[in-house]
C-alpha cells in the first residue's frame, strides 16, 4: 500500500454524504482521495514524506462548483478591458465610463456590463442620445445585467453597420422610437450576434490575462470547478473559449476544472471536435446548451398565461427557439447520449422542455452512464412540473442570487397567484429533484457564500431584505445548500462519479474554510445557554432531524441555529483550496516585494497580491498585484 501525500484532519469534515460534519481525516495521493475515516486510523496511510495538516475546527468540504456561468464575459468584465456597474440611472452610467475611457486606447470600444433600467431612479429606458453627448466619436456598448440587451451609441451603431433600414434578425430586435429611428437598444439574438464583433479588438494575450485574473478570483472563493455554458444560441457565438482554457492548462496555469457546454445545434461537429481537443486532466466537454426563452424582466420569458402587466393583448413571451426545432435538437442529442441544458425561465418553456425530455426517454430510454439533462434558471413553475422534473431525473440548475435581483419584479410581472411557484428550492428537494447551484456570472457575482446565504434565508446578502425572507417556506438548510453547490453541480456537469463529495477514489478538489458554519459563534449553543450534557452539541447538526443532536435546538429553516448558520456562512472565507494535489494557501503578507522572475511583462514593480494564493506543492508560483504576472519563488 502506497502512503498518502497529504492527510487533512479537522473536527468538521463535511463529506456531502451526511447532513452534518464530523471529526474525520482525508488522505490524498496524487490527484485523488485515497481514504476518508477516523483521524486515529490515519497513521495507516502515512509514510515518511506524508504531510499531515490539522485544521482544528475549520470546515473541510468538497470544492464549490459553479454550475452555470459564462467564463469569457465574466473574465472580460472583471478585467481592466471593461467596466461593470449597475448605475443609479442613465446619466450615472455614462459618468461611470470615464475611467475606462481614460485607460483604453483612443478610438477603441468602451465596453461595460451590469445596467438594469428597472432598478434605476428614475426607471427609464436608456437611449443612444445620452452616450452620444459625451462620446460622439467613440463606440460604446453597455451590456445589460441580465446579458440579454445591448445599449449602443450612434458611433457603435455605425461601426456595426446598423441603420434605420436594418432588419432585426430572427429571435432579436433593434428598438425604434415612434418615428422609426433606432434608439440604440438591441435585444436578445440581435444583441448576441453583435458581441463577437465588439470584443474582436482584444488580443489573445489580453484575454489570457483576463482569464488568469478570473480564475484567481474563483480560487479565492473556494470554487474548484465550473460549468462554462453557451452564452448565445446561434452558431459560432457560444463564447466557450476552449483555446484559452487549453493554453492555460498546457502552461500549468489552470487552477480550476472547466466543464464546457457549447451550443446545441443540428450539426454536432463542434461537440465532437471539443471532445477530441479536451483530453487533459482539467478541461472537458460534458454536453450542449440551447435557449428556449428569454427573461421575465423584458417579457421575453415564455409563459402559459399573460404577463400581469401585459404590454400587448398577447403578451406572454414566446419561444426563442421554435418548439419543433427544440424537439428535433434535443432528440438528436439524446439519441447520441449527449446531455443537454436548456435555458427555461418561463413556466411554459419549462413545461414544454419537460415534454420533450419525457418523449425522448419514452422513445429511447434514459441517458447512459448516469448522465442527466438539466433545465437552467427555472424561475416559475406550473404546479405539476415540480414533481415531473424529479421523476424524469432532470437537474434543476438554479441561481439563488437571481431571487433578489429585481425586488417587486415578480409581483409586477407575474402577479400574486404565480409568485408562490417561483424558485421553489424546498419544494423541488421535497419532490426528490437534484438542485445545482450557480451564479450565471457575470449576471451576478460568483461568491458561493452569498449564494448559500440567499438560498438559506431568501434574503439579499447585502441588504438582508426582505425581512423574514421572500417566500420563506422555500428556505433550505445549510447542508442542502452546500450539497447543491457541490454534489448537485457535479451532477449537472455529469461528473458526479468523480466530483462533489469527499469519498475514496474521487478527485481531490477540496476546500478548507476559516470556520465551521454548522457551529456558528454567537449561537445560544456556544454561549452556554443551552441545557445539554453534550458540550459539543452544536457541532452535530442532524439535518434529517432538523435539530442539534446534542440538545435538540431547531436547525430547520427559521430556527435560531439555522439563522446563525446562514450568517456564519456569509462571513466565511477560504483558508485553502486544493485542485487535485495542488494546494493554494492564503498569503498573509500585504504588498510584500518578493524575489522572482517575471513570467509575463508589465511596467509596474512586482508585488505579491494580498488576495492571492501560493501553490505550496508544485509550481511555486504566486500572482503579483499587476494582472497576468506570475512570480517564480
**Is residue 308 pLDDT above 90, yes or no?**
yes
pLDDT at 555: 64
**C-alpha 285, offset from chain centre:** 17
Structure confidence by residue, pLDDT tens digits, 396-406? 999 999 999 99
Strand-pairing partners, residue 435, are: 396
Residues 6+ apart with CB under 8 A from 294: 148, 188, 300, 301, 302, 317, 320, 345
Rounded distance between C-alpha atoms, residue 612 and residue 120, angstroms: 34
Exposure pattern of 348-357 as b/e (b: 16+ CB <10 Å)?
bbbbbbbebb
Reported as a pLDDT band with limits 50, 70 and 90, residue 522 is low
Q: Which residue has the higher pLDDT, 148 or 206?
A: 206
Cβ count within 10 A of residue 533: 7
Q: Which residue has the higher pLDDT, 271 or 585?
A: 271
**Is residue 531 pLDDT above 60, yes or no?**
no
Rounded distance between C-alpha atoms, residue 465 and residue 558, angstroms: 15
Rounded distance between C-alpha atoms, residue 355 and residue 532, angstroms: 52
Residue ranges and CATH numbers for the domains of the chain are: 6-63+505-533+571-578 (2.30.40.10), 82-199 (3.10.310.70), 204-492 (3.20.20.140), 590-633 (no CATH)
Rounded distance between C-alpha atoms, residue 213 and residue 203, angstroms: 16
What is the C-alpha R_g of the chain?
25
Reported as a pLDDT band with limits 50, 70 and 90, residue 586 is very low
E-strand spans in 334-420? Answer: 340-344, 374-377, 395-398
Rounded distance between C-alpha atoms, residue 434 and residue 209, angstroms: 35
Q: Are 42 and 24 within 8 A, CB to CB?
A: no
Exposure pattern of 552-576 as b/e (b: 16+ CB <10 Å)?
ebebebebebbbbbbbbbbebebbb
Q: Are 359 and 340 within 8 A, CB to CB?
A: no
Coil, helix or strand at residue 156: helix
**Is residue 529 pLDDT above 70, yes or no?**
no
Coil, helix or strand at residue 548: strand
Structure confidence by residue, pLDDT tens digits, 344-356? 999 999 999 999 9
**Is residue 176 pLDDT above 80, yes or no?**
yes
How, if at all, do strands 284-285 and 257-261 pair? parallel
Mean pLDDT of 548-575: 80
Structure confidence by residue, pLDDT tens digits, 47-98? 999 999 999 999 999 999 999 999 999 999 999 999 999 999 999 999 999 9
How, if at all, do strands 597-598 and 630-632 pair? antiparallel
What does 190-226 look like in DSSP terms, one character per residue?
Answer: HHHTTHHHHHTTS-HHHHHHHHHHHHHHHHHTTEEEE
pLDDT at 557: 84
Rounded distance between C-alpha atoms, residue 366 and residue 350, angstroms: 19
Rounded mean pLDDT of the chain?
88
Residues 6+ apart with CB under 8 A from 365: none
How, if at all, do strands 22-29 and 32-37 pair? antiparallel
Coil, helix or strand at residue 119: helix
**Is residue 220 pLDDT above 90, yes or no?**
yes
pLDDT at 273: 96
Mean pLDDT of 407-414: 95
Rounded distance between C-alpha atoms, residue 308 and residue 296, angstroms: 11
What does 33-49 look like in DSSP terms, one character per residue?
Answer: EEEEE-GGGGGGG--TT
Structure confidence by residue, pLDDT tens digits, 262-300? 999 999 999 999 999 999 999 999 999 999 999 998 899
Q: Are 621 and 632 within 8 A, CB to CB?
A: yes
**Is residue 624 pLDDT above 70, yes or no?**
no
Rounded distance between C-alpha atoms, residue 184 and residue 176, angstroms: 8
Structure confidence by residue, pLDDT tens digits, 449-489? 999 999 999 999 999 999 999 999 999 999 999 999 999 99
> Kind and range of the H or E element at 455?
helix 448-457
Q: How many Cα atoms sit within 13 Å of 623 on the Cβ side?
A: 26
For 188, left (φ over 0), alpha (ψ -120 to 50), or beta? Answer: left
Strand-pairing partners, residue 553, are: none
Q: Are 207 and 78 within 8 A, CB to CB?
A: no
Rounded distance between C-alpha atoms, residue 349 and residue 317, angstroms: 10
For 317, left (φ over 0), alpha (ψ -120 to 50), or beta? Answer: left
Q: Are 183 and 168 within 8 A, CB to CB?
A: no
Q: Are 340 and 373 within 8 A, CB to CB?
A: yes
pTM comes to 0.87
Percentage of the chain lying above the pLDDT 90 cut: 81
596, burial (CB in 10 Å: exposed 0-12, middle 13-18, buried 19+): middle
Amino acid at each position: 500500500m502506497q502512503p498518502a501525500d497529504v492527510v487533512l484532519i479537522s473536527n468538521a469534515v463535511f463529506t456531502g454524504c451526511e447532513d452534518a460534519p464530523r471529526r474525520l481525516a482525508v488522505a490524498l495521493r496524487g490527484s485523488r482521495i485515497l481514504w476518508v475515516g477516523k483521524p486515529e486510523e490515519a497513521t495507516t496511510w502515512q509514510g515518511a514524506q506524508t504531510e499531515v495538516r490539522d485544521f482544528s475546527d475549520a470546515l473541510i468540504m468538497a470544492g464549490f462548483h459553479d454550475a452555470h456561468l459564462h467564463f469569457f464575459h465574466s473574465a472580460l468584465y472583471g478585467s481592466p478591458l471593461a467596466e461593470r456597474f449597475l448605475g443609479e440611472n442613465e446619466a450615472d452610467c455614462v459618468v461611470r465610463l470615464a475611467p475606462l475611457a481614460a485607460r483604453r486606447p483612443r478610438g477603441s470600444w468602451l465596453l461595460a456590463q451590469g445596467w438594469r433600467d428597472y432598478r434605476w431612479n428614475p426607471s427609464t429606458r436608456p437611449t443612444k442620445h445620452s452616450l452620444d453627448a459625451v462620446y460622439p466619436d467613440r463606440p460604446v456598448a453597455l451590456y445589460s445585467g441580465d446579458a440579454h440587451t445591448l445599449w449602443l451609441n450612434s458611433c457603435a451603431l455605425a461601426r456595426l453597420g446598423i441603420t434605420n433600414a436594418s432588419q432585426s434578425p430572427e429571435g432579436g430586435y433593434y428598438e425604434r422610437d415612434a418615428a422609426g429611428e433606432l434608439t440604440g437598444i438591441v435585444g436578445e439574438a440581435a444583441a448576441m450576434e453583435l458581441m463577437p464583433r465588439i470584443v474582436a479588438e482584444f488580443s489573445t494575450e489580453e484575454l489570457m490575462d483576463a482569464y488568469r485574473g478570473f480564475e484567481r478570483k474563483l480560487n479565492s472563493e473556494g470554487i474548484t470547478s465550473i460549468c462554462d455554458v453557451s452564452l448565445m444560441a446561434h452558431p459560432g457565438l457560444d463564447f466557450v473559449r476552449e483555446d484559452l482554457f487549453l493554453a492555460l492548462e498546457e502552461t500549468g496555469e489552470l487552477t480550476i476544472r472547466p466543464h464546457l457546454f457549447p451550443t446545441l445545434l443540428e450539426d454536432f461537429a463542434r461537440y465532437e471536435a471539443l471532445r477530441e481537443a479536451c483530453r487533459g486532466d482539467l478541461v472537458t466537454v460534458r454536453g450542449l446548451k440551447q435557449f428556449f426563452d428569454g427573461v421575465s424582466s423584458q417579457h421575453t420569458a415564455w409563459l402559459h398565461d399573460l404577463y400581469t402587466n401585459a404590454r400587448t393583448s398577447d403578451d406572454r413571451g414566446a419561444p426563442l427557439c421554435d418548439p419543433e426545432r427544440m424537439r428535433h435538437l434535443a432528440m438528436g442529442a439524446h439519441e447520441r447520449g449527449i446531455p443537454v441544458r436548456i435555458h427555461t425561465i418561463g413556466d411554459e418553456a419549462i413545461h414544454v422542455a419537460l415534454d420533450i425530455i419525457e418523449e425522448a426517454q419514452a422513445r429511447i430510454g434514459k441517458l447512459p452512464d448516469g448522465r442527466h439533462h438539466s433545465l437552467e434558471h427555472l424561475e416559475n413553475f406550473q404546479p405539476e412540473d415540480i414533481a415531473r422534473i424529479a421523476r424524469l431525473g432532470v437537474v434543476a440548475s438554479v441561481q439563488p442570487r437571481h431571487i433578489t435581483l429585481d425586488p417587486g419584479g415578480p409581483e409586477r410581472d407575474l402577479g400574486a397567484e404565480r409568485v408562490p411557484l417561483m424558485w421553489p428550492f424546498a419544494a423541488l428537494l421535497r419532490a426528490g429533484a437534484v438542485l445545482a447551484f450557480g451564479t450565471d456570472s457575470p449576471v451576478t457575482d460568483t461568491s458561493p457564500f452569498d449564494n448559500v446565504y440567499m438560498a438559506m434565508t431568501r434574503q439579499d446578502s447585502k441588504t438582508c431584505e426582505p425581512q423574514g425572507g421572500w417566500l420563506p417556506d422555500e428556505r433550505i438548510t445549510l447542508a442542502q445548500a452546500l450539497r447543491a453547490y457541490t454534489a448537485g453541480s457535479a451532477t449537472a456537469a455529469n461528473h458526479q462519479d468523480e466530483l462533489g463529495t469527499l469519498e475514496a477514489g474521487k478527485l481531490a478538489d477540496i476546500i478548507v474554510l476559516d470556520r465551521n458554519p454548522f457551529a456558528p459563534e454567537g449561537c445560544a449553543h456556544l454561549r452556554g445557554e443551552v441545557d445539554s450534557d453534550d458540550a459539543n452539541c452544536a457541532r452535530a447538526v442532524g439535518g434529517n432531524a432538523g435539530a442539534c443532536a446534542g440538545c435538540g435546538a431547531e436547525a430547520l429553516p427559521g430556527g435560531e441555529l439555522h439563522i446563525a448558520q446562514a450568517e456564519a456562512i456569509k462571513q466565511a472565507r477560504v483558508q485553502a483550496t486544493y485542485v487535485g494535489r495542488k494546494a493554494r494557501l492564503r498569503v498573509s503578507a500585504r504588498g510584500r516585494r518578493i524575489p522572482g522572475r517575471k513570467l509575463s511583462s508589465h511596467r509596474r514593480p512586482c508585488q505579491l497580491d494580498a488576495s492571492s494564493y501560493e501553490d505550496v506543492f508544485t509550481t511555486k508560483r504566486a500572482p503579483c498585484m499587476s494582472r497576468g504576472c506570475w512570480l517564480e519563488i
